[in-house]
Amino acid sequence: MKLVLAAILAISATMAEAAPLTVRMGESWVFAVRDGEPHEPRKVQSDAAPGKGQIKVTVKALLGTSLMAVNNSPVAYTFKAELIRKGKAISARTCTLPANAKPVFEQWDRVAEAVRISRFGAAGTEGRC
């Protein structure tokens, strides 16, 4: 019985970690990707650099809503972004997040309070936008 309870607790802890990350306007976060979701995210200063294997994301109000990201890992990613405004989420188109610390800039005309990011997956070599 104790073993079953320990397994259930371990699974629920893992499920709790695997969640989208909501980045509010003016915030910067770094995280690694694990099971397609942001893993161990932490808020940082906007001038911080992502560590090896980490991604840094910053959301700002610029011509609507903008997201700047740097992926300091050898894997390029596709990801899902949702603009959050008044508690509602609206899907937003994203480009491939390139590997090896190359930055990407996303900009949407719609003004949002935050951007929720999730569903990171390895991108093919062709990229997309």
**What's the CA dihedral at 107, 105, 82, 30 to 10 degrees?**
-140
Local confidence pLDDT in tens for the 129 residues of the chain: 554 444 454 554 444 556 999 999 999 999 999 999 999 999 999 999 999 999 999 999 999 999 999 999 999 999 999 999 999 999 999 999 999 999 999 999 999 999 999 999 999 766 677
Listed in sequence order, the DSSP H helices in 37-113 are none
Residue whose entry in the numeric block shows the structure tokens 């929720």: 116
Amino acid identity of residue 56, one-letter, is K
Q: How many CB atoms lie within 10 A of CB 82?
A: 17
